[in-house]
Amino acid sequence: MDDEIETKLLRHENEDEGNLKQRIWAEAKKIWMVALPGIISRVCAFGTIVVTQSFIGHISDIDLAGYALIQTLSVRFVNGILLGMSSATETLCGQAFGAGQHHMMGIYLQRSWIIDFITLTVLLPVFIFGTQIYKLVGEEESIANSGGYISLWFIPFVYNFVFSLTIQMYLQAQLKNMIIAWLLAFQFAIHIPLSLLFVYKLNMGVSGAMIALSMSSWFLVIGELIYIFGGWCPHSWKGFTVAAFKDLVPVVKLSLSSGVMVCLELWYYAILVLLAGYMVDAEVAISAFSICLNVSAWEFMISMGFLGAACVRVANELGRGNAKAVRFSIQVLLGTSIAIGLSFFVLCLAFGKKLAYVFTDDDRVADTVSDLSLLLSFSVLLNSIYPVLSGVAVGAGLQSTVAVVNLLCFYLIGVPLGAFLGYLTSLQVKGIWFGMMGGVLTQTITLVYMTWRTDWDDQVRKASQRLARFYLKSDENP
């Protein structure tokens, strides 16, 4: 009798184990359907900026520092605002898709275009008066002049964010983002020959590198618009409508909280680069720090793919009203992302100094990068955790809560700690990086606790209320 009971228990355990494996596999496939195209897209998109930096770095060390300054401060500043405000589109489109309100997705997209275009136009003085701004904050005159000149070339480039960021989130929410991956892969492929043509063949130097960057970036936008207007999104795109101008105020509120959440995170790194600019050898400090940040950020693009997957999976399941599926999806997302982070941790430790010579021929910069390689490896590992948790927050519409967390962890812990270790100890640039990691580690622990304590059944109710508030009847289903 006891043997029969034991046999039945073993059978049930095996069935549960098999069922769990099937559930993990099914969830992993859903995650990778969003994450893989997102990873390809972000790696290629960021790759064009890194390639441009590499070309400029081999032209002049001053221009490398100037480009690092504008890309890490001004572009990150504006991109942070637009990316954050666009994440409201990700929340609304993801939940609308889960609830079957497909026609609302096109309306949300058009609202985001209106809001982002106006926002970017207001922010243009950041690029127009680049030299004056950098001198005002105390940067070296030669670096400030170079950064101010390059910032003017960034203006046609940044306007692509209005469309590319929002369209990616719109397509991602309905699992159609593979087209973006193909477009961005092609964009990256043509960016290199374009850069070679303008920089070396036509001998246009820094101007040629920036022209190539703008041309390749707008190829992506044109391809995305052709895909949407060409009829490949028949359920979610019903054409332009005046409904896009309705209910803008509540969308702006959600966009602002999203913008603050992302900006506080992106600006954090920008402030640390600014601190590096006040070091004794500012040119070497800025160049080395920005190279490490770019390597970290390139790996971070993979984590951003999982951020997008987390947002879509959480938003979709909340829209469907399935709190249990949300919890399970978060567990699979974290496990997958951390495994990838560990792989890159090992790679950064293995290559160390060799990374720097991709961007510069200066041995001083390469030696500084080598000193930072261990810290870079740990930063890469942390990158695999907190973006997923941020994506969970975006999918649930909890951006305002994460904004407060980012403010406290980054600006009350990370920046003061980095300034103290960088200036009042012998650590210099390494001290700034220690401070950066302190802020990120605190933020990660807080987000883990917040996610664990969240009542997902209550979030299902709130998602339902949000969708009901913005809902407009479709012309096809009056």
DSSP per-residue letters across 32-53 = HHHHHHHHHHHHHHHHHHHHHH
Tell me, what's the pLDDT at 50?
81
User: Cβ(216)–Cβ(190) under 8 Å?
Assistant: yes
106 in Cβ contact with 238 (< 8 Å): yes
Residue 15 in this model has a pLDDT that exceeds 50: no
User: 297 pLDDT band (50/70/90 cuts)?
Assistant: confident
Q: Which of the four pLDDT bands, split at 50, 70 and 90, describes residue 249? A: confident
Alpha carbon separation from 477 to 102, 103, 226, 472 (Å, rounded): 12, 10, 26, 10
Distance CA 268, CA 264 (A): 6
Sequence-separated (6 or more) residues with CB below 8 Å from residue 23: 328
Residue 308 to residues 39, 41, 193, 208, 357, Cα–Cα distance (Å): 9, 11, 30, 33, 32
pLDDT at 142: 85
Task: Enter the tokens of residue 225.
Answer: 């618009």
Look at 16-20, 65-69, 331-335, 448-452 and tell me which has the smallest mean pLDDT. Answer: 16-20
Token couple for 239: 């054409």
Residue 10 has pLDDT above 50, yes or no: no
CB neighbours (10 Å) of residue 225?
12
CA dihedral 208, 210, 211, 215 (to 10 degrees): 140
Confidence of residue 209 (pLDDT cuts 50, 70, 90): very high
| Whether the predicted model's global pTM rises above the 0.85 cut | no
Question: 48 and 188 in contact (C-beta within 8 Å)?
Answer: yes
Question: Could you give the C-alpha distances from 333 to 119, 296, 308, 377, 451, in angstroms and in order?
Answer: 33, 20, 11, 21, 13
Tell me the C-alpha distance between 35 and 333, whole Å.
Answer: 10
Distance, CA of 23 to chain centre: 28
Instruction: Output 397 or 171, whichever has higher pLDDT.
Output: 171
- CB 315 within 8 Å of CB 90: yes
Reading the block at residue 96, the tokens are 């609308």
Residues above pLDDT 70, as percent of the chain: 88
CB burial class (10 A; 0-12, 13-18, 19+) of residue 192? middle
